[in-house]
Amino acid sequence: MGESEFRTCHVIARSKVSYLVLVALQLTANPAQMSSPLQAISNLPSTLFHHPILAAPSNSTKLNPYLPLPQNGTTVLFTNPDFLPSLPSASLRRTVIHVLDAEEIATPRSSKAVSLISRSAQEAYDQALLALRLAQDNDAVVYHFIASGLEGSVQEVDNVESWLSESLGSPNPNANPDADDAKVEPEDELLATYELTSLSLLKLTRRAQRPFVHHKAESSRLVVNFLPQAIEAENVIDVVLAIPAPKEKLRSSLTGVDEVIVVEGGNGKYGAAWASVVDALEGSDVTIRSVLVGATASPSDISAASSASSPITRIGSAATHNIPTTSIAIPSPESTYTDLLTTSPSPLEILNDPAHLAANESTSPLYAFGKAVAIRKERARLVELAKKVLKASGTKKEVHEALSAWLLVRDEQGAEAAGKKVAAAIGASKGDEQEILELGSKGHWAKRALWIVISNSWAADLASSGLHHALASGLDINLLVYETAASPFSPNAPAQPSKDRKKDLALYALNMGDVYVASVAVYADYAGVINAMREAEKYSGPGLVLAYLPWGEKEDGEVVSAQEKAGPLERLRETKRAVSGGWWPLFRWNPSSADDKRFTLDSSYIKAALSEFLDRQSHLSQLTLATPAIDPSVTSSAGTDLVAARKEKAKKAYDALLNSLDGPGLLVLYASDGGNAEKVAKRLVGRAKMRGVGASLRVLDEIAPSVVESLSEEKNVLVLTSTAGQGEAPQNGREFHKALAKLSPSDKLAETKITVFGMGDSHYWPRPEDASYYNKPARDFFPKLLALGCAELCPLGLGDDSDPDGYQTGYKPFEATLWRALGVDGVEVAEEKEEVVANEHIKIASDYLRGTILEGLADKSTGAIGASDAQLTKFHGTYMQDDRDIRESLKAQGLEPAYSFMIRVRMPGGVCDSKQWLAMDHISDEHGNGTFKLTTRQTFQFHGIVKAHLKKAMQAINRSLLDTIAACGDVNRNVQCTVNPAYSKTHESVYNFSKALSEHLLPSTSAYHEIWLDKKKVGGDAVQPLESEPLYGPYYLPRKFKIAVAVPPDNSVDVFTNDVGFIAIVENDEVIGYNVSVGGGMGVTHGNKKTYPRLGDVIGFVTPEEGCKVAEAIMLVQRDNGNRQDRKNARLKYTVDRLGLPKFKSLVEERFGKPLAAARQFSFDTNLDKYGWAQGHDGRWHFTMFIENGRVEDSSRHQFKSGLREIAQVHKGQFRLTANQHLILSNVEQEDLEEIKRLLAKWGLDNIDHSGLRLSSSACVAFPTCGLAMAESERYLPLLVDKVEKICEEAGIRNDDLVMRMTGCPNGCARPWAAEVAFVGKAPGSYMMMLGGNHTGTRLNKPFLESATEPEILAVLKPMIKRWALERHDGERFGDWTIRAGYIKPTTHGSKFWEESFPAPPPSAPAIMA
């Protein structure tokens, strides 16, 4: 029988699902009396409910259709054939369902289901009593089909309660006494219980209860009647116990019978009763025919069909059962919200509103969701057809105009009127235009606001999976969900709060990221409700509005508690309790709003409490002292150590016990290259254990030698894998991948359930032909494992790094599905947050940057230092790193990474003398890797310094009269300044200004000198430190802080990319003051559009004497207002945008002590270095040389290190480092000029005959030492420049400057976001490409390609550069031209960086006009 046919005849096929049932068992004495059947049945002790049927017991509670039956004990429901299909049966247990006026029987879907048929009044009462006992004793669901038209009175039984409570003995379903250990089928157990209960009831009533009544007659034909009414025929069995069928008794009735006719209701292909009889009589030598009786069949039709010879006879028409929408009662309190819905300015449709449903439609939210899908599909089809007709060559002019006008306003208020004009223009037509008319006539001209109401009173069956489908569909539809429970603060709150908390749905929806979510309460914030409804309708996507309506299921005047009744006033009081106590927060989350406006907190109580807390916290932070450094021996003892050991042992025992309980097992296998998948796997195992799951963790390759054997030992398995290379498995999953390909299906895996979650980036491979690489390992593993014989635990899950929340967008619903599959989704656990050693905690506990650095340096067992100390050493100017080129090979050998340290020197303004240069050269050879780096912050950087040499290198730097303190870390870092020799008269002023800034903002802690220079601790070791940080405090800054000073028109320092910029205003060769800019910064996080680069805003002018004071004021505003919760949003640029520039400026002026003067006029003309010789105002000479990417080394390409060493030995002037990683030999006296020129020529250092592209390029370090690098940068950019140079030469623009920058990660060390063309690493060999910056450092670029490889980069740049060469205006730079040519939109502000990014590049765009 087909599924649809089962539904038509209300057949619910049997399954092995156990049904749950609710209702209180009420036992009251009932003396024998004569009553009507319905009255007598309703007098039986139980909790009664009824669907809105005509003849309903007066002592039962009305239950709306489609709602689950409340359950607590034994429950009885009175219904009829119309309402029976609306009852959700999946959770029923211990329930009796009386189907009144039954014309056919339904086959329930449960292994513990019983179907009884009653054809007389007394029989109906007796079977009701029998059904009650069967439901009570077996947790069974008993369907009792009562024939229509039963008349007469029935004799009720005395002492029903006693009979229900007395023991009936144990049924023995096994006839064979030796078969005690045999598995008992549920139907055999039910049959045995039925017989035992029938015998007991016979003793009580003196009326026999038989599974069927056989009206015997001499005939070779046996008619088995499953209809609730009697039929006219000879030798008839009237079935009473339809399910489970009494097989043995049916077989015993076959004496002399050749043919069996099964008569039942329905009109499908086969009858369920016929199938059960065939099963019961299997092996019998009889013919079994089926008669299916429809709605209009008469007794004579049934009699004739029984006498026919056809194997299957269908008579009558199909039965139709519709639920009248008027039968659904909606509580009037809900109108407080639905009335507000109807005020929508858009056409509105509440999809499950009973008042507007057809007779065959349902109020079910799931049904309504299906309607929504259909409506949105039809409207999308209308739009598609309109566009198609517009493009058609034969479209009439008036139709073309009307359709164009409608498309423009199709989502606005004028859409309906414009649609009518379309209909008028089309007139009589056919084809696509006719379909347009048909769709328009369905109401699709105007976009409707679609709502689904979810209410416990009449529409409550969406459930968590349905909610997920609705929200994850991306469909433009809104859900209004009522919460009617009292808050925990209410005097009327139940002793045991419900676990079904609607407000938790908000957290679920918020995690999805792209769902509009609002939590509202009409009795607390009326305007907020309206705002939420209108915003949800305006948002183009799913919306969830949670509406608080205490006791919304009760009509006004109904009893709430012994003291109160429901009503508006009580709802108002209860709402205030819930909102003011924080139990029901009022908020709105609008994904379409700007980042800083997406979340709106409407709870005034919470706002006030939060403000008070933050104010108190601010005061406390001023009073906080450093954490005392108390030796553990002072506070510990052998006893405390023993207690700690016992607690740890108890915890382990508890964990073992927890995992050995009834919870399911789960083996998590992971494959991970970068460690992200491993981290997710470990976290999932921890979360699983907290839910009672016996979870374990293994590397995927560990089971490669024995895949089938390992998997067959597990009940549940999860494979979690990342994606490597060209869709390859990670390194520690490749052996498994190979082994899997060689395996064939095995029966051993039949009991193993498996699922797979993959982690990848859908935009990692931008070419369409490479799309198959996305999450390929996971998509390959899952079907192969299923083909081997494993069952599916839950569907394949895929996490995409390009989603709004990265892989979490796909992972969160996957994990929820996994918990459901394991049956632990209902387990409530207070999950521990992942323990992360936060930078803020490290700083406050560090004793002013001391930590345990000294102890870590003394530990010779490892080349590393502790994680906390690795954060603290940044403040001292050093980072711990490892050689990533050999990381995997060392790991394969079981060795730790090749740890080393990077040291960065603090050198304000980037100026040193020859002795200091020689010292740096010597340090790189003696302690480092033989090279050193000129950084984009005008200082030196050493790499490859092992831990044993770290302190020696620090001391050597200090002996050269330089230091490293505050070169890194959450403090003011190295201060930059313009070093253009053409302005050497002002350079001295600017340089001294930069030094003063650096010294003024230097941390005061003596920890640096204690650790690296062996100075003694201030105050001694025996007492608490007396020092403090007057500027920074014990927390220091939320994030790094950078300052640069520029002298217009030279912006080689990219002054606006710094947190604070000082722009020198020069008059008559004298610096009269500085314009001040704030809010610049380069750091970005891939895939996180809440992060962005930003250029600074000028806020005023100060004199040189005021510079240090205003810098301090800005830094302190950042110290007190920066985001310390999220380091990705902790830079000053986000503080400025969060507070707003005017507010930020006012805070600075408040600390500065007066308003800032108005900014002065200035302009920049370049951010590049000017190469070659230049003479200063004092007659001295300066030579700017090209140092490719700032790497001072000897290589096959350059001899920078040896050449500069020899020059430093004779040079009497200074070395000036530029912010573009190049070097200026400064202050060469006239008499020394020829010797310096000779040495430059000797080593090829005078060669500046490079292409404009190469001279304008720069790159960060990246691989192999930077721990943040995702791709090559310094080592790769020269090779890429080689190839792009050829394109430039072919286009005739070899000497034209083109600012190209590259970084290995998005943190922006080489300032890529301000370049004309830039590349930011995403993965080895793959880069995000940006276009549109300018050559003055005053405009950010914008993302152009999300992920590009070298061939793709060259394919894009070649035609672009050639067009630029041909089409540019005089002096028009590449970045400006790409915007004018339409390749990219300009970035007008950092917060708009991601807007209109990644446009589709025009492959062969025509020439543009001037």
Give the number of other Cβ atoms within 10 Å of residue 373's Cβ. 15
Which 3 state secondary structure label does DSSP give 1037?
Answer: coil
- The pairing of strands 348-350 and 449-454 is parallel
CA distance 1029 to 1119: 12
- The pairing of strands 1326-1331 and 1317-1323 is antiparallel
Tokens encoding 1053: 């320092």
CA distance 720 to 810: 13
CA distance 939 to 921: 13
In SS3 terms, 879-894 reads as EEEECCCCHHHHHHCC
Distance of CA 406 to the CA centre of its chain: 37
Residue written as token pair 């020197």: 905
Distance of CA 915 to the CA centre of its chain: 56
- For 401, phi then psi, to 5°, come to -65, -45
Indicate the DSSP class of residue 789. Answer: T
CA distance 1074 to 701: 62
For helices 365-391 and 463-472, the axis angle rounded to 10 degrees is 20
Indicate the DSSP class of residue 1103. Answer: -
Dump the DSSP string for 873-929.
GGGGTEEEEE-TTSHHHHHHTT----EEEEEE-B-GGGEEEHHHHHHHHHHHHHTSS
Query: Could you tell me which of 270, 447, 279, 466 has the C-alpha nearest to residue 367?
Result: 466
Dump the DSSP string for 723-743.
-BTTTBPPGGGHHHHHHHHT-
3-state DSSP percent of the chain in helix, strand and coil, to 5: 40, 20, 45
CA distance 964 to 966: 6
Query: Could you tell me which of 1216, 1307, 1223 has the C-alpha nearest to residue 1266?
Result: 1307
Residue 115 amino acid letter: S
Tokens encoding 797: 């899950």
CA distance 958 to 942: 14
CA distance 152 to 94: 29
In SS3 terms, 382-393 reads as HHHHHHHHHHCC
CA distance 1079 to 1228: 38
Question: Which H helix or E strand runs over 117?
Answer: strand 113-118
Query: Could you tell me which of 386, 384, 398 has the C-alpha nearest to residue 426?
Result: 398
Query: Could you tell me which of 243, 230, 41, 68 has the C-alpha nearest to residue 143?
Result: 243
Q: Collect all residues with Cβ–Cβ distance below 8 Å to 880 and sequence separation of at least 6.
A: 864, 865, 870, 873, 899, 900, 901
- For 1265, phi then psi, to 5°, come to -100, -30
Asked if 799 and 807 count as a contact pair (C-beta separation under 8 A), the reply is yes
β-pair partners for 48: 76
Residue 1107 amino acid letter: G
Tokens encoding 1309: 């060390």
Q: Collect all residues with Cβ–Cβ distance below 8 Å to 34 and sequence separation of at least 6.
A: 153, 154, 155, 156
Asked if 1144 and 1137 count as a contact pair (C-beta separation under 8 A), the reply is no
Active site residues: 904, 973, 1040, 1042, 1260, 1266, 1305, 1309
